[in-house]
Chain A
Amino acid sequence: MSKGNRSNSQNQSRLNQKPARNRVESRANPIIKKMKIPEPSLVLLIGASGSGKSTFARKHFKPTEILSSDFCRGLVSDDETDQTATGDAFEVLRFIAAKRLAAGKLTVIDATNVQVEARKPLLALAREYHYLTVAVVFDMPIKLCQERNEARPDRNLKPHVVLQQSRQLRRSLRNLKREGFRHFVYVMPTPETVEAICVERQPLWVNRTSEQGPFDIIGDIHGCFDELVELLKELGYNISTYPDGDTIVEPPQGRKAVFVGDFVDRGPKVTEVLRLVMKMQKSDRALCIPGNHDVKLIQALRGRNVNLTHGLAESLSQLEKESTEFKTQIVEFIDSLVSHYVLDNGKLVVAHAGMKEELQGRASGRVREFALYGETTGETDEFGLPIRLNWADEYRGSAMVVYGHTPVAEPQWINRTINIDTGCVFGGQLTALRYPEKELVSIPAHRTYYEPIKPLVDEVDKSSSVGTQQSDDILNIDDVLGRRIISTRLHHNVTIREENTITALEVMSRFAVNPKWLIYLPPTMSPTETTSNPGLLEHPAEGFTYYRKQGVSKVIWEEKHMGSRAVVVVCRDPETTKRRFGVSDDTLGICYTRTGRRFFSDAAIEAELLGQVKSAIDKVGYWETFNTDWICFDCEVMPWSVKAQELLQQQYAPVGASARVALEETIASLKTASERGIDVNCILDNYRQRASAVTAYIKAYQEYCWPVQSIADMKLAPFHLLATEGAVYFDRDHLWHMQILTKLCQSSKDNLLFATHYGIVDVTDNASQTEAIRQWEQLTERGGEGTVIKPLDFVVQGKRGLVQPAIKCRSREYLRIIYGPEYTLPQNLERLRSRGLSHKRTLALREFALGVEALERFVHREPLSRVHECVFGVLALESEAVDPRL
C-alpha cells in the first residue's frame, strides 16, 4: 500500500509540491484550522501594524526563523520605530534572508508587507533560491489594529497610517497568487481565526531523507523490458510472471529500486516496462522520477501537439491497443512523479539529468527543468543535439548524485556524481548502481533497438586524458586557496592557515609533480624527548616511555635509513597509469619526494627503478595477492648523496673542509706557543677535542655518501605498503607491513630493494626494552642513523586522541649533521637539551591524518580535488615554522 497520497494526486503541478490541499479559500470558509507550510519555504506575514503578526510568529516559529523589520531597524539605528532607517533595515533583512535561503532554512518575514513593491524583492529572493513562498494575511478589522497600536507605549502611529495599510492590503489580496504565492495563500479575517490556527510543517516532496536504502538505482530503460527483468534478477529481485502476463517483483530484504526515468520511447516493450514500474512504485518497492521522454509522452497522450520524434512514435504505436483507462493511469503516474529525490539523510540525490548542489531539495520550475533536461548552452553540436554544460565537472557538493539522460559507454565517477545511462536501447547496456555499496551491475543489450544519432563515447575520451579522474582533470583554485578546514577520519577537522596555503600554492605549482600522482604525502616525524643520558640527546628508552604512557604496550623499531624519503607508485602497465591515474606518458608510475617533487630528474633512472620494483612484484605475485594493478609504497632511497648532492657540496662538505684545516692550523700555532712556555694548555685541550669532533663529523656524513653511476649503486627500502586498488593498509600492524615487504625485497633479483631491520618490543617488559636498546647501540655504532619507533598498530587512538604514528631516535654521530660537528662538547650539549617538541608533534598528527585521508579518498575513487586538498594540506603544514633540527 502506498504510504503517502502522492499517487492519488490528480493535479500535481510542475512544482514538485502538491498544493491543492493547502489552498484555503478563506473568505468563503472563515475558520481555518490547519495551515500547511512547506519546509523549507519563505513565509511572508502580511498585515497592517497591530494586526498580530509578531505574536503569531512567536507562537508558531522558532525565534531564529523570524526576521522582523522592526528588529532590523533597531539593529541599524538603535530605534525600532525609526522610519528613516527603514531602507537600511530592509537591506539587512534581505541580506540575512538570502543567507538563510542559501542554507535551506525556513524563513518567516515579519513586516507589514502590505505593498506590492515591498513583497517584490522578497519574492525575487525566493525565486533565486528556488523556494516556495507562503503568504499569511492578517486581514483584521481596522479598528482592532488601531486600538492595539494605541495600547503600545513604544508605538506612535497615527490612525491614518493603519487605515492606509489596510487599504493597501485589501488591494493586494486579489493578486497575491499572480504575484507568485501561487498555492499557499492563507487569509485570516478575525482574531479568532488566528487564535485557532494550527501550523503544520510539511517536508517538500523531493525530501525523502529518512529513506536510507539500500537502493538499486537503475538507469534509462527506454522500453528494454527483457534487459530490465534480467537486471532485476541479477540484483537478486524475485520475479514471477503469471500466465496473464502480470509480473510480480519482490526485492531482496530491505532493498528498494530507484528508477532514474525515461521508461519509454525507442525500445520494443514500452507497455511492459510501464506496467512493471508502476506496479513496483504503487507497492512501494520502487521510487520513480520522471524523464524528459516520459513527460513528453503524457503530453502526447493528453492530446497536445508534440513532435513525434526521438522514438515517441514507437511508444504511441505500442500503446495504441491499450485501454483508455491504462493510458489515463500512465498520465496520472507520470504526472505524480517528483522532479528528484534527496535520500539517505541528504547523502544521495537521484535525478534524471543530474542536479546541481544549490538546486538539491528545492522546488521550482527551474529545478524541474534541470532535473529533466540538465543544463545546455542553447547551442547544438554537429549532430543537432544540444550541447550540454557539464555541471558535474564543477560539482563540489557532499551528496552523491546518480543520474542518467545522456548515454555514455561506461559509467564514470565525476566529483561524486555518476551517470548510469549506458544506452541499452542503443545496443549498450542497462546499468544499476547499488547504494551504498557503489557497485555497478550491467546487462548488455540483446540488440541495438535504435540507431544512435552519434556514437556512444566515454565523456572521458573526449577530454584528452583517460582515467578515473579524467573529467575533474583540472583542479579549481577554490579547492586550495585561503583558510581551509579539511575533515579527516582519523583526527577530526584539520585547519590550514591561510599563510600556509599561500606558501603551499607556490611550492605545489612550481615544483610538485602532476597532481594526479600525488595521492599521499608522508607526515613529519618528531624525535624522542631529550634524554638525560650523558653525551646523548636521543635514546630509545624515551621512545618506549612515550608509548607506554599512551597505553601502548607493543612497539616496533625499524632501522632508520639515512637516505631520502620517497613515495613510489608502481603500475602493472602503462595502461593502468593511464586508466587509474589519468596520466598518459607511458610510464609505470612515479617516485616523488616528501614535498611532492619528482625524485629523479633523469627519467631513464626513474623508469629503470620502477621497472625493477615491478618485476619484483611480478615475481612475488602481489598483483594477484592484493587483486590490484598498482601499488603505492612509502620508502627510503639511498644513498643520501643521490638527492642531497647540492646540500652536501654547499653545506656539509665545506664545513668539514674548512673546520679541518682551521683547527689543524690553530692546534699547530698553540703547540708552538706552548713550546715557548706560554700557558695555552687549557685552550689547546679544548681545540684538540674540537678537532676530533670535526673528524667524527666528516666520518659521519661521509658514511651516507657513495658514488652513484647507475641504479645498481642505489637502494630502495620500502617500509609501508600504503595502498592498492580499493584498499589502504592502515588497519594492518607494522609487523605485517615488514613481513610483506621483506618478502618483496627477497624476490628482487636486482639488489635494488633493501629489507629493513626491525624488532618488536614489549615496553612493559624491562628485558625486552634492554635488548632493544642494545640493538640500537649496536646499530648506531656501526654508523647507522638510528631507529624509528612505532606502535605495533599503524593507527592508535589513545586516551587523549591520536598517538604519534612514529618517533625517531637518532644516533649520537648522526646528530652531528643536524646540530653541528661540535654539538657533543659538554658546553654545547647542555644548552641543546632544551627543545620543545609539542609543535612538531601536533604537526605530525595533523599531517598523518591528512596523508591517510588522501589515500582513503583516492582508493574510494573520490574526485581529484578531494584527494588534492589533503596532500595540499600536508604541504601547507610543512611551511609551519618549526625547529628544522627536530
Chain B
Amino acid sequence: MYSPATDLGYLLHKHPSRIQSFDLSFGQAHVFYPEASTEKCTAALLLDVDSVGLIRRPRGQFTENFALAQYVSDRPYVASSFLSVAVARVFGSALSGKCKERPELVKTEIPLSARLSILPCRGGDKLLRRLFEPLGYTIEAEQHALNTHFPDWGESRYFTVTLQNTCSLSELLTHLYVLIPVLDDEKHYWVGDAEIEKLAKHGNDWLAAHPEQESIVRRYLKHQHRLTSQALTQLREKDGQETHKTTQAQAEAQIEERIGLNEIRLVAVTEILKQCGAKRVLDLGCGEGKLLPKLLAERQFEEIVGMDVSHRALKIAQKRLHHDRLPEKQKERIRLFQGSLGYRDKRLSGYDAAAVVEVIEHLDLPQLAVFERVLFEFACPRKVVLTTPNIEYNVKFENLQAGYFRHKDHRFEWTRDEFQSWAVGISKRFGYTVVFHPIGPAVEDIGPPTQMAVFTREDGGEGTI
C-alpha cells in the first residue's frame, strides 16, 4: 500500500483533476483520471486512432500489407505499437524515469496495476504469461469470443488484461512499451537499425535475463533476421560468454533439424544431374532458387535455366544468386524466367535434364495430366529428376496434425505406392524408364521423408528439338 496514491499525478506529470489531450501523427491521445483518492488513483490513457486519416495519407509512410491498409481494421481499438508510441509521447518522462518535482518517487517501488482493455496476443494466454510472469507480474486475462452469436467461430486473439506488480512506474511503462507490440507481433512503422537502439534502451535492465529473450527480440524487430541476430549478439555480449555458447548451440541444432532434409534433397538431385553427364539443365519450379547455386557451383552445367510461376520468387532467387554481380562468364550460364507448368513452352525444349524438386504436390491433381504432357511429351529432356514428400513419413513430424499436409499449399501428398505407380505410368506413356531413390533417413514400414524418381528417356536423347 502506498499513500497518497495521487502521487501518481506527479509521476505521470499529469494533473488528476484535468483532462488533457495530445495531438499525435495518427490521431489523438487523452489522459484523464477516472478515480483519484489517497487510497487509489487511476489514470486513463485513451488513444483515438484516426483510421480514415491514416489510409488517406500519401503512401509509403506505413509498411505494406499492414492491417491498416484496410478501413475495416482493429487498430483503432487495440493496444499496439500505436500505444507504445503514445506512451513515449505522453508519458515520456515517466517512461524514462524522470520526475522534477518528486525525484525520490521515481525509484520507489509501488503496488501498480495496469489494465489493457484489448490486447491482441498472437501466441495466446500462454505467451502472455511467459512474457510477464518472469518480470514479477500477476496476470488476470479474459479472452473474448469472435462473435457470441456464432460460438463455433471460436475465440479471438484479444484479451482484456490486468497486470499487477510492485515496481517503479518507469519499469511498468517500459515493460508495456516493449511487450505490447511483441504480443501483437506487428508494427505500424518501418523497422530498421534504429529499432535495435530503442530495444537496447528500453530493455537495458531486464531483457538480457528474460527467458523469452529470443522471441521478444525477434518479434520486436519484425522477424528481420539480420536485425534480430545483431540485437541478440549485443545482448549476449552484455550477459557474458556462457549463455552465448549454449544458446547458439541450441539454435544450431534447431536449424540443423530444419534445413537438414532440404540440404540432403538438393545434394541428391545435384548428384544425379552430375552423374548423367547433363550439360544443359532446367530447374522447373525453382522457387526462390535453392537448387540454383548448387548447380552454378558445378562447372559441368554449361546452361542452367530456372523457371517459376511466381515472379516474386524469381526476384528473390535472382538476389540470392547475386545475379547482377556475377562475373560475365558465370552470368551467361544461368537464366531465370517466369513460366508455368500448365502451358507448353518451347523455351523448355532441347535440354539434357530437368529437376522438378518439390513441385508436383503444389499442382491440383486433375491438372497433373497437363504437367505430364508439358514436361514429358513437349519439353522431353533426356533426364527428369523429380521429388515429392512421402506422406507415410508424416507421422514422424511431431508438430504436424494428423490429416494435414506439410505445407498449406500442398494439394496432395503421396504414399510411396501412389507416387511409384504414377511415375511408372508416365514412363510407359512417354517412353522413359524410371528408377526410385529414397531421400533422407528411411524408417521401416514408413520409408524416407522424401521420395525421388529419376526418369531416363528411352531413345537415349537423340533428336531433341
Contact = CB atoms under 8 A, between A and B. Distances in A.
A157 interface: no
Contacts of A505: 309, 338, 340
Nearest to A598: B364
A817 B72 contact: yes
Interface stretch (A10-18, A196-204, A671-679): A671-679
A885 B56 CA distance: 13
A655 B77 contact: yes
B374 interface: yes
A658 B147 contact: no
A156 interface: no
Contact of B146 (A515, A654, A665, A820): A654
B153 A480 contact: no
A821 B309 CA distance: 38
Interface residues of B, number: 62
B71 A819 contact: yes
Interface stretch (B29-37, B230-238, B254-262, B325-333): B29-37
A477 B345 contact: yes
Interface residues of A, number: 60
Contacts of A514: 366-367
A477 B152 contact: no
Interface in B69-89: 70-74, 76-78
Given A474-B344, A820-B71, A656 B52 contact: no
A818 B72 contact: yes
B338 A502 contact: yes
A882 to B, nearest CB: 14
B208 interface: no
B77 A680 contact: no
A678 B17 contact: yes
A669 B34 contact: yes
A258 B308 CA distance: 48
A329 interface: no
Given A503-B311, A820-B73, A678 B19 contact: yes
B9 interface: no
B19 A676 contact: no
Main secondary structure of the interface of A (DSSP, over half): helix
Interface string A652-691: 1111111101110110011011001011100100000000
B342 A651 contact: no
Interface in B33-59: 33-36, 42, 44, 46, 51-53, 56
Contacts of B153: 648-649, 653
Given A505-B309, A669-B44, A676-B33, A658 B342 contact: no
Given A505-B338, A654-B156, A510 B309 contact: yes
A828 B341 CA distance: 48
A515 B364 CA distance: 12
Nearest to A585: B366
Given A673-B33, A820-B51, A702 B147 contact: yes
Contact of A707 (B44, B150, B378): B150
Contacts of B311: 502-503, 506
B290 interface: no
Nearest to A647: B72
B370 interface: yes
Contacts of B347: 477
Nearest to B145: A657
A661 B118 contact: yes
A831 interface: yes
Contact of B160 (A503, A506, A665, A676): A665
Contacts of A702: 147, 149-150
Nearest to B35: A672
Contacts of B310: 506
Contacts of A506: 309-311, 340
A370 interface: no
B72 A820 contact: yes
A669 B73 CA distance: 23
B270 to A, nearest CB: 26
Nearest to A377: B463
B190 interface: no
A461 interface: no
A389 to B, nearest CB: 11
B342 A679 contact: no
A663 B118 CA distance: 10
B147 A508 contact: no
Contacts of B56: 831
A479 interface: yes
Nearest to A510: B309
A655 B73 contact: yes
Contacts of B340: 477, 505-506, 508-509
B292 to A, nearest CB: 19
Given A477-B339, A477-B344, A832-B52, A658 B120 contact: yes
A509 B346 CA distance: 18
Nearest to A476: B344
A698 B153 CA distance: 14
B144 A680 contact: no
Contacts of B362: 510
Contact of A477 (B19, B154, B343): B343
B309 A662 contact: no
A705 interface: yes
A654 B74 contact: yes
A92 B5 CA distance: 91
A473 B371 CA distance: 12
Contact of A698 (B53, B74, B147, B309): B147
A679 B20 CA distance: 10
A652 B72 contact: yes
B369 interface: yes
B117 A676 contact: no
A307 interface: no
Contacts of A683: 19, 30, 46
Contacts of B53: 831
B72 A661 contact: no
Contacts of B77: 655, 658-659, 661-663
Given A479-B343, A653-B146, 16 more contacts: A474-B373, A476-B344, A476-B345, A478-B346, A509-B340, A510-B409, A649-B146, A653-B156, A655-B73, A655-B77, A661-B158, A678-B19, A683-B46, A820-B71, A820-B73, A831-B56
18 contacts: A474-B378, A477-B343, A477-B344, A477-B345, A480-B343, A508-B340, A510-B309, A515-B342, A649-B146, A658-B78, A658-B144, A662-B77, A662-B78, A676-B34, A680-B19, A680-B30, A702-B149, A705-B150
The 6 closest A-B pairs by CB, nearest first: A820-B71, A672-B34, A509-B340, A653-B146, A665-B117, A662-B77
